[in-house]
Chain A
């Protein structure tokens, strides 16, 4: 948990696009961070309400599940930008450099494709469920799949931008946290 991997902005030279992406990632980090703090506080309120006031705030459970979606999917997109996801780098370390580049490019394309599907089908799911309400908080059920949809769009962006940097020969990192 050292700070060595802290703040790995994915860029080595600050082009305008890279700065924009860093700003988007920073915004996501802010939103997910606030979500975590809010999540913790409302749970404190849940227990306080049930145990001390004997009036359980019934909305907390459902609200918490929504906040976790935000943390998971926006956080996962930031993880793509910062290369922090768990992966197995064994084979990449063994193969010649050109093949490694092929692997990196293939991974970027796979991630972009998967992100695109998240965006499309997550969006459809959101619309499909928008009409029914989540019990006890009365918000649209579609909100549950919105973070996946947005996260998918961001993953497309981040992985294509990485691919672009690779093509320009600026960035070959797609490694695990170490």
Chain B
């Protein structure tokens, strides 16, 4: 087959676990296809925002991308299920689901929209942080202005706890936390650290309410057009890069946690998450009423051990 030059997208900066893993993926693809496929990675989101890059991969302008399933949700209904708060018990549970039938259902949904997930990456769990004091129960969120990403599920989650969900551009959050435009936000350990949010919101409560996986995606036509050997090679490369990513992610999470704790952040472990999970019942009910087709997938995930 003729040589192919691919381009890839990744939002993270140099040195980040995903960046290292995507670079490794590029190397492996080239190696395993004897240089017949080359991949040029563009890190730091320099070729566009995540929703834009998803569109670019779907349209074939880019061959591959490392995407969070959050922004894929509005396009692929099955992928939006992972944005339900507390749907996964923990990261290991999430990977068990993704490696099983649940993962296949999500992958099929994505392929119908021109994206094939080659492997799943870890993005940890998202927890709440704020400036006023630890959050131990849903009541502590009452009346709090919490910055959320753009998704009805996330805003519904805060609203059900009695808080005030405030969508806001990511770049504005640091200042908003500092001046009090919002009281809190939520993210994983590495982002909490690298954005400096811990400097202005030094209470981190380990709610782990959202565990949203990431995927290494490829344009469906690009992948289906490959020979069988090349398809296998590309998949292998993706799986190996994902193994590396998960390893680096674990290290990075620990390092970030150490950094922020060293800077004086108060970490509040939540012993009993049941009250939070119970508060989410209306979110699930509304969601399933609006998306009855997705009930089997939700139940499948909940019944996976």
Residues of chain A touching chain B, judged by Cβ–Cβ distance below 8 Å, are: 50, 54-56, 58, 61-62, 128-129, 132-136, 138, 141
Q: Is B275 an interface residue (CB 8 A)?
A: no
Given contacts A58-B167, A61-B169, 9 further A-B contacts (CB under 8 A): A56-B164, A58-B155, A61-B150, A62-B150, A135-B74, A135-B150, A135-B151, A135-B152, A136-B152
Chain A contact residues, majority secondary structure: loop
Q: How far is the CA of A132 from the CA of B72 in the complex (A)?
A: 10
- Chain B residues near A136 (CB, 8 Å)? 150-152, 155, 167
28 contacts between A and B (CB under 8 A): A50-B164, A50-B181, A54-B143, A54-B145, A55-B164, A56-B145, A56-B165, A56-B166, A56-B167, A58-B155, A58-B166, A61-B150, A61-B167, A61-B168, A62-B150, A62-B167, A128-B59, A129-B55, A132-B74, A132-B75, A134-B74, A135-B74, A135-B150, A136-B150, A136-B152, A136-B155, A136-B167, A141-B74
- Chain A residues near B166 (CB, 8 Å)? 50, 56, 58
- Chain B residues near A56 (CB, 8 Å)? 145, 164-167
- Chain A residues near B143 (CB, 8 Å)? 54
Check if A54 sits within 8 Å of B164, measured CB to CB: yes
Q: How far is the CA of A138 from the CA of B171 in the complex (A)?
A: 24
Q: Mark B169-203, 1 if CB is under 8 A from A, else 0.
A: 10000000000010000000000000000000000
Q: How far is the CA of A128 from the CA of B55 in the complex (A)?
A: 10
Q: How far is the CA of A50 from the CA of B55 in the complex (A)?
A: 32
Q: How far is the CA of A134 from the CA of B167 in the complex (A)?
A: 13
CB nearest neighbor in B for A141: B74
Q: Name which of A58, A128, A138 has the most chain B CB atoms within 10 A of its CB.
A: A58
- Chain A residues near B168 (CB, 8 Å)? 61
Report the 5 A-B pairs with minimum CB-CB distance, sorted nearest first.
Answer: A56-B166, A135-B150, A132-B75, A135-B151, A132-B74
Check if B167 sits within 8 Å of A50, measured CB to CB: no
Expressed in whole angstroms, the minimum distance between the Cβ of A117 and any Cβ of chain B is 16
Expressed in whole angstroms, the minimum distance between the Cβ of A143 and any Cβ of chain B is 13
CB nearest neighbor in B for A53: B164
CB nearest neighbor in B for A131: B75
Expressed in whole angstroms, the minimum distance between the Cβ of A100 and any Cβ of chain B is 39
CB nearest neighbor in A for B150: A135
- Chain B residues near A128 (CB, 8 Å)? 55, 59
- Chain A residues near B165 (CB, 8 Å)? 56, 58
CB nearest neighbor in B for A47: B181
CB nearest neighbor in B for A124: B59
Which chain B residues (118-164) contact chain A, with CB distance < 8 Å? 143, 145, 150-152, 155, 164
Q: How far is the CA of A43 from the CA of B55 in the complex (A)?
A: 29
Q: How far is the CA of A136 from the CA of B181 in the complex (A)?
A: 20
Q: How far is the CA of A135 from the CA of B164 in the complex (A)?
A: 17
Check if A50 sits within 8 Å of B74, measured CB to CB: no
Expressed in whole angstroms, the minimum distance between the Cβ of A28 and any Cβ of chain B is 27
CB nearest neighbor in A for B155: A58
CB nearest neighbor in A for B151: A135
Which chain B residues (53-89) contact chain A, with CB distance < 8 Å? 55, 59, 74-75
- Chain A residues near B169 (CB, 8 Å)? 61
Q: How far is the CA of A107 from the CA of B221 in the complex (A)?
A: 38
Check if B145 sits within 8 Å of A50, measured CB to CB: yes
Q: How far is the CA of A151 from the CA of B222 in the complex (A)?
A: 33
